[in-house]
Every structure is written in C-alpha cells, then in structure tokens.
Amino acid sequence: MADSGIQFTPRRRIGQFLITKPVGVEIDGKEAGAAPWGKTTEFAARPGVHKVTASFSYLGKKRMAEATIEVTVVAGAMTPMLYRSPWIVTNAGSLVAS
C-alpha cells in the first residue's frame, strides 16, 4: 500500500460484459498500470496536482472512452477516483474524484 496516491475504481454500465480488458491508467502522461473492472487499485503518486487519464481497449482500438481529470493528492492520504464507462463506448467515459 502506498503512503499517498490514487485509489482508482472502474465501473462498467449494465450489459457491458463484452468489455473485458482492464482500464489503463496514466498519471501525468506516464503509464501507471491497469485496473480490473469493479476492483479498487491503488497507484502511488506524490503529493500535488496530477493529470489522470483512463481508457480501455475494445475491438482492436487501444484507447476507447478516454477520460481525463486533474486531481490533488494530499501527503499521507489516498485520493479515491471513480471511472465509469459510457453507454456508447465510442463516447468519453467519466472520471471523478470522490
């Protein structure tokens, strides 16, 4: 477990069982890792403001439903974030700090 960083939880919409690839997460333009659907994954990040981007692979395309947000990470705390897939996978997903 990291001292400070981001707790990232991706959620699919009802009926989107064909989306199986995990969600790719970038922090400040650098690949941070992947988060499986419905599970919370922690990513280490230094305190400060970070640009977080999430997307997933679908039907041969690498970056579907991309969403980006700036989030502030506080020293010694994990910042929870929620990513939701869009109803139509060619649209942007939603990413919020909760």
pLDDT tens per residue across all 98 residues of the chain: 458 999 999 999 998 888 999 999 999 999 999 999 999 999 999 999 999 999 999 988 889 999 999 999 999 999 999 999 999 989 999 999 98
Which structural domain, as residue segments, surrounds residue 46? Answer: 5-97
Please give the span between the terminal C-alpha atoms of the chain, in angstroms, as a whole number. Answer: 19
pLDDT at 53: 98
pLDDT at 42: 97
Distances (CA, A) of 89 to 26, 77, 85: 19, 32, 7
When divided into structural domains, the chain yields a total of: 1
> Which CATH number fits the domain that encloses residue 61?
2.60.40.1120
Give the number of other CB atoms < 10 A from CB of residue 89.
18
